[in-house]
Amino acid sequence: MNNSRLDTTTLIGVFMAFGAILGGQALEGGHAGTLMQLAAFIIVFGGTIGACLIQYPTPIFFLGVRLLKWVFMTPSVALESVIEQVVGWGNTARRGGLLSLEPLIEEMNDPFMRKGLQMLVDGAEPEKLREMMEVEMDSYDEHHRQAARVWESAGGYSPTIGILGAVMGLIHVMGGLSAEGGVDISSLGTGIAVAFVATLYGVGAANLFFLPFSNKIKSVIAREMVKRAMVVEGLVSVANGDNPRLIETRLRGFIA
């Protein structure tokens, strides 16, 4: 998945999310500045990252961070071009045999397709070819879905840590009250409002960003898995000597 395109829908969604929150705040007579609290930000996001680091092995965590680019720069998975390639392999193999596919191996940019084509040229039995390629598919799927679940876990932790931040803020506010002195109602109200900003950060980050990020990454993985399933089915069909038109019909069933 080397080719990527800017996902304008995601950018629109991000701007709409921020716009809805800030716009609603303005309609209620509030100020955007009241939502900017550094302490709450550090508690919620620092605590969430720490919890995810505890839960996941370091390589999985950092893979999840790297996959974040898929949310905004979505990899292009052209299933139609996969069909064209596989049908081309079928036509080439019918004319010159499986060995005639060997010059195509070096032209493959996709490591998965290159490996499958190499096994096909090497004369692997169709079922053995399917078995080995499906093992690699399952490994890719599990590894990348674990990385996507980093953001899903962040979406689970951040609301709770936001509540923790709010409680810490309330403790600070209540600790400032003096039994002997009078209570400054305006100061008390401001302190409580600031405390609940942490809850806003936690719930907002989970539902507007972390969980959607996770689901977006999973959708890219799912599309890549469809592509790989098509490649495996095509390779097995070519190995069996199936008619290219039959191969095309079979592969179109994956994207009907």
Tokens encoding 184: 């400054």
> Where is pLDDT greater, at 128 or 169?
128
Alpha carbons 17 and 187: distance in angstroms, whole number: 30
Q: What is the mean pLDDT of the chain?
A: 88
Confidence check: pLDDT of 34 > 90: no
How many helical (H) and strand (E) elements, i.e. helices and strands, does the chain have?
Answer: 12, 2
Q: Are 104 and 92 in contact (CB under 8 A)?
A: yes
**Residue-wise pLDDT tens digits, 114-136:** 999 999 999 889 999 999 999 99
The CA-based dihedral angle spanning residues 177, 180, 184, 189, taken in that order and rounded to the nearest 10 degrees? 30
Closest by CA position to 103, among listed 115, 88, 87, 118: 118
Model pLDDT, residue 134 = 94
Query: 70: exposed, middle or buried (C-beta count within 10 Å: 0-12, 13-18, 19+)?
Result: buried
Alpha carbons 8 and 11: distance in angstroms, whole number: 5
**Residue-wise pLDDT tens digits, 85-99:** 999 999 999 888 899
The domain locations on the chain are 4-252
Residue identified by tokens 């007579």 is: 29
Task: Identify the band that residue 221 occupies on the pLDDT scale cut at 50, 70 and 90.
Answer: very high
Q: Of the segments 23-32, 67-76, 219-228, which one has the largest average pLDDT value?
A: 219-228
20-24, 123-127, 188-192 — which is least confidently predicted?
188-192
C-alpha count within 13 angstroms, C-beta hemisphere, residue 7: 19
